[in-house]
Amino acid sequence: MNDVLKKIGELGIVPVVVLDDAKDAAPLARALCEGGLPCAEVTFRTAAAAEAIKIMTEQFPDMLIGAGTVLTTQQVDAAVAAGAKFIVSPGLNPRTVAYCVEKGIPITPGCSTPSDIEQALEQGLDVVKFFPAEAAGGLKMIKAVAAPYVNVQFMPTGGINPSNVREYLAYDRILACGGSWMVPKDLVKNGEFDKIKELTREAVQIVKESRGK
C-alpha cells in the first residue's frame, strides 16, 4: 500500500467535500485542520473543484487533498495539476485506473461487486472504494465480498454517518470511511466553519473510540 493510502488509513475518515465557490476552500480547509482531520476529497462535481484543490494545497501544504468523482483521464490531469495527491472515482473505469497506475497516482475506484474487485486487482490495486456503501448492502455486503479477497481493503462511501460509521471502522478490512456529514453544503454556504470544526472534532473522536486509540 502506498504512503498516501496509509495516511488515509491512519486518519480513518475522509471528508467528502462539494464546493460551489472556491472562496470557501481556505476557511473550510482551516476548519478541517483545526478539527483534527487534515484531509479532504474535493469532488469534481462542480466547476470550482480544481481551483478549490489548488487553494487548499497551496495554503495548507500539510493537508492530504484528493479529487473525487473523477470520471476521465482529463479530470485526472486537471486534479493533479491543481495539487491533488489521490484520485477517487464512483466506479471502476479501466482506462482511468490504468492511467493513474501508469503515472503512479493513488486511485481508489468505486467497486460494489466481486467482478469490480477483480478488475481492481488486475490493475494492481489493494484498496477500493465501496460505493454506494449503504445502498449496496452496507457492512454486511463488504464482509461477504471481502472474504475471498484477503489482501483487499475497503473505503466505503455513501450513506455513512455518525449513526453507522462506528460499525464500519471496527471492521479490520476498512481502511477508512468517506463521509460528508461534517462538511454539509448548507454550513459551507452559510460560512459556519466553526460548526464544521466542531463536527470534525466529533468525527475524529468517533475514529479514536472505534479503533481503541
Q: Name the active-site residue from 6, 23, 34, 41.
A: 41
Sign (positive or negative) of CA dihedral 147, 148, 151, 155: negative
How far is residue 210's CA from residue 40's CA, in Å, rounded to a whole number? 21
Q: Which of 4, 70, 71 is nearest to 39 (CA)?
A: 4
Is there a catalytic annotation at residue 54?
no
Backbone region of residue 138 per phi and psi (left: phi > 0; alpha: psi in -120 to 50; beta: other values):
left
How far is residue 204's CA from residue 35's CA, in Å, rounded to a whole number? 8
How far is residue 162's CA from residue 213's CA, in Å, rounded to a whole number? 18
Is there a catalytic annotation at residue 122?
no
Q: Name the active-site residue from 54, 85, 129, 197.
A: 129
The radius of gyration of the chain from alpha carbons, rounded to an integer in Å, stands at: 16
- Residues in the chain, total: 213
Cell numbers of 198, please? 466542531
Which residues have a catalytic role annotated?
A: 41, 129
